[in-house]
Amino acid sequence: MSVIKPTRSPGRPLGGTRVVDREDILNAAETVIRRDGAGASLDAVAQEAGVTKPIVYDRVGGRAELANALAERLADRMVVAAAHSISGANDRGDLATLIETSLTTVAENRELFLYVTSGSTEQTAVSRLYLAQRSAMPMADALAKWRVSQGLDPSVAVPWAYGIVGMLQMVSLWWITQDDDSAAQVASQMAQLLAPGLGNV
């Protein structure tokens, strides 16, 4: 009498015992990106997570969805890091601290930042802007509250926040590819540009 052995369904974790959830795959993706750089493949992510590639698609999605999920993580880190800086946005020194904090966070997550902003044939322009969108709304909320506290019009907070975050993203992309200026130097230069306008209108 022959014994029928159970088969592993597509996408099931290798070994068939450990359940791998979405956060496990995102953690694995970060490990691979730190190791392999912004060109990290979904195959490498699946291998690091101990699953087959179909389960990566099932739990997270393709390259674009993975980049969006990781952008959400990175944006949350940047928001937390900047939380104590934005409250003094009217002061050039405090604004410089905010920008320096943002640049430092990008530097600490360099390959991850490049992964979520560089895009691929699978990503649209909208998904490449996901990091900026995720970061902008907490900043807009903080700017609005600060302007109300100063008796100023808060309606400018949203476009200003998107403008600041977009600027920071482009400056960050430039800054992490060169070694000439420190984060503090660049932050001071950008604060000189932004500070005069934040307390007006």
Q: pLDDT tens digits, residue range 120-142?
A: 545 555 556 777 887 888 888 87
Region 76-84 average pLDDT: 79
Examine the pLDDT at 31 and tell me if it is beyond 90.
yes
pLDDT of residue 49: 94
96 shares its domain with 53: no
At 37, which CATH number?
A: 1.10.10
At 127, which CATH number?
A: 1.10.357.10
Mention every residue, 6+ apart, whose C-beta is less than 8 A from residue 52: 10, 11, 12, 13, 14, 46
180 shares its domain with 103: yes
Residue numbers of the domain that contains 118: 63-198
83, 98 Cβ separation under 8 angstroms: no
Region 73-89 average pLDDT: 73
Mention every residue, 6+ apart, whose C-beta is less than 8 A from residue 82: 98, 101, 102, 105, 139
